[in-house]
Structure 1
Amino acid sequence: MQKFTMKLWSAAGAAAAATTLAATPAMADGPAPTVADPTEYVYPAGFDKALSLMLAGEGGENGTGVQKVWPTLSVPALTTVQIQKAVTGNSLVIPYHYTHQYSADGKVGGYNIRYDKIDISKCPKKEIPGDGLLLYAGVCQAQVNEPVTGTWKAEDNKLCVDIGWAGKTQVTGCYNVFFVMDSVAMVKPDGSVSGKAHALKKGAAPDM
């Protein structure tokens, strides 16, 4: 039985994680190809062009960050320099959860989104984007933006952060960073993906 896998590669070519995606009819197994630096051929137009397409909201045009190979999808981790280019002055966002803004001086700002239950009569029957109210499963909630503070640095091909809100540290540690189409994956040292996929937004992302 053939297995399709998605492998997250570090810049040195080591596997950071492997996840089984699907199974199809049998095919002879063979050794996975190895390269000195996967980033040399997954950004055919150059990393700067790939980054500009992502920030422009092009939806991962031409498979941003993805190696052209079948049946294994290999995604290399960003290097220290690429991480700096990607996040400096921009924001990593999980919609409806938080926005982290990375300044050039190594500080992190932005906000975490908390939802507080309020009287259901205050919620419109039809969703109004941007009104700060969420009606879900018969419960009305108001969006509260909690200020985020912290620091960041890029070193050893990882993004290292110390970020907190609501009076305590919430996100800390060093992560490998991957561009997968139009999303950003942050991977823990044990190879597991941290939380949900992030969006990379140009500048200080607006409130949601």
Structure 2
Amino acid sequence: MEPVRTVAGRAYPWGASNVDTDVIIPAEWLKTITRSGLARGAFQTVRAEPGNVFDEPEYAGAPILIAGDNFGCGSSREHAAWALNDMGVRAVIAPSFSDIFAGNAFKNGIVTVALPQEAIDRLIEVARTQPITVDLETMTVTTPFQDRFAFTLDPFRRQCLMEGLDEIALTLSKDTAISKYESAVADARPWIGRRGGHAGIVVEGTGRT
């Protein structure tokens, strides 16, 4: 996972509320087991409408999505986060998020920023013509007009995002401690670590194992 410290650029000024994961990526796209190519199916039903924000050329490749309340509700499909990633979205700003979506987004390096509706309204207005910056260092969302909106994020998730640590990387970062523990266990209970078809336990009185 790539480290995320700031996300800056144009933002999709969408603002829709109660966007479920089926809207983000329809069920027909769930057959794939890869994370690439899902951008083609992202917001498919929305893109079927003429003049939708996702097909406006000025927002092409925008790294930020501004949405409404309860973003990512519905099913728990991780494909929703994969699709956003494949679109190039690295941060979603909304008043609130589904817990499962927020977790999936975090695991895939996407920052979920919760702000009050009045801040969302202002950011949508600015995003129509100007870039926006999400800064994990200062925990703020800023605009060229000196707007500054503070947000909170779980400290553990913030650290993982800024250091680019997914679950595998977190485990590997504890390699020394894990190896030390395994070595201690092997010394204290050598029968656990023995290889072969059986544990090599001696049956008393028989001399056999």
Q: Which is greater in Rg?
A: 2
Question: For this structure pair, what is the TM-score category when the shorter chain's length is used for normalisation?
Answer: under 0.3
More strand as a share of residues: 1
TM value normalised by structure 1: 0.21
